[in-house]
Amino acid sequence: MATTAVSEKLSEAETESAPPPSQRRRRRPLLTVLTPYLFVAAAVGLLLLLTYLPAINMIGYSVTNWRGLGDITADNFVGLDNYVKVFTDPTVFRVFYVSLYYFAATFLQMGLALYFATILSFSTRFSNLFRGIIFFPYLLNGVAIGFVFLYFFQPGGTLDTVLGWFGVDNTPLWLGDRSVANISLAATSVWRYTGLNFVLFLGAIQSINPELYEAAELDGANRWKQFRYIIMPGIRRIVGLSFILAISGSLSVFEIPFIMTSGANGTTTFVIQTVQTAFNHHNVGLASAMAVILLVIVLVVTGIQRKFFPDEKVDLT
């Protein structure tokens, strides 16, 4: 009893001597308070310097006829003429049609990636080997892939040789014929980027609680029902993200067509046209307007995606 009384007195003394909570908060060192903001400030500063400031300059260039040399004066201001030219000049606007090939190809790309991710998420022999094989093309440099497929599609090359084994001798010029050139380039893009979608889908599928599969098997659900009612709801966000990446990627294709055809034979993409306008024709104002339009299209598509596929909390437990 005596020990308990002494403990109570000591506790009361500590309570009386301790400062109120408001005073304890005021005693925090200033550097401790500012440390989180300093870390954020560095990241935000780099973001403003390297992303938003160039974007603001680009918007300013888009309303001028600046050719990339000298200072910009009031005489260079042309208003919205560059934007009107993008949508009225057939030589500029037709590059949007080329993007449709890559946009259509992304559905095949996402379908293949989702198929392989689903198959390899279950117990499959040599699954790690197949995962590495599917993801490997994405690790390769785009320039290297361009040169590899340049020899693959050339007349008498690997593709013609393989088709010749099956009796197909009358093959088209895969990169020289306008009717098939964009299909060949889009197929190359599918080969390269399927691994990226595959990894995204596989990671999302593996994050699903395994007990759901066990419960579904006990209820007699086959693999298709598990895919439809467990996997697809669980990876809905990743599918939406992949769709945004597909839209923006189909509009910003550059490496593969630039290396393999340099935009010849009707394979000029929107980005290639923008680069050629800025650096070959020295029309930085028009090129900036094209870049702004590309940015607006991506933002609109993102907004539409967020409208129809909002970030809903998926509860599968």
> Which residue has tokens 């439809």?
228
How is residue 279 written in tokens?
């650096």
How is residue 185 written in tokens?
């380039």
> 158 in the Ramachandran plot: left (φ > 0), alpha (ψ -120 to 50) or beta?
alpha
Q: What is the pLDDT, as a whole number, of residue 115?
A: 92
**SS3 assignment, position 24:** helix
Angle CA 181–185–191, to nearest 5 = 145
Q: What is the pLDDT, as a whole number, of residue 183?
A: 92
Q: What is the pLDDT, as a whole number, of residue 6?
A: 52
Residue 232's contacts (CB-CB under 8 Å, 6 or more residues apart) are: 239
Task: Kindly report, residue by residue over 264-297, the tens digit of the pLDDT.
Answer: 888 888 889 888 888 888 889 999 998 898 888 8
- What separation, in Å, do the N-terminal and C-terminal C-alpha atoms of the chain show? 52
Distances (CA, A) of 286 to 18, 71, 80, 221: 69, 17, 10, 57
Residue type, 74: A
Alpha-carbon dihedral 42, 44, 45, 48, rounded to 10 degrees: 160
* pTM, to two decimals: 0.74
Low-confidence ranges of the chain (pLDDT < 50): 1-3, 316-317
- Where is 114: in which H helix or E strand? helix 95-121
CA distance 54 to 46: 12
Q: Dihedrals φ, ψ of 298, to 5°?
A: -65, -40
**SS3 assignment, position 77:** strand
The answer to whether 202 and 132 are in contact (CB under 8 A) is no
How is residue 308 written in tokens?
């129809």
Report the candidate in 127, 294, 283 with the shortest Cα–Cα distance to residue 202. 127
Report the candidate in 36, 201, 52 with the shortest Cα–Cα distance to residue 115. 201
Task: Kindly report, residue by residue over 122-143, the tens digit of the pLDDT.
Answer: 877 888 899 899 999 999 888 8
Q: What is the pLDDT, as a whole number, of residue 112?
A: 93
Three-state secondary structure of 223-259? HHHHHHHHHHHHCHHHHHHHHHHHHHHHHCCCHHHHH
- Where is 132: in which H helix or E strand? helix 127-139
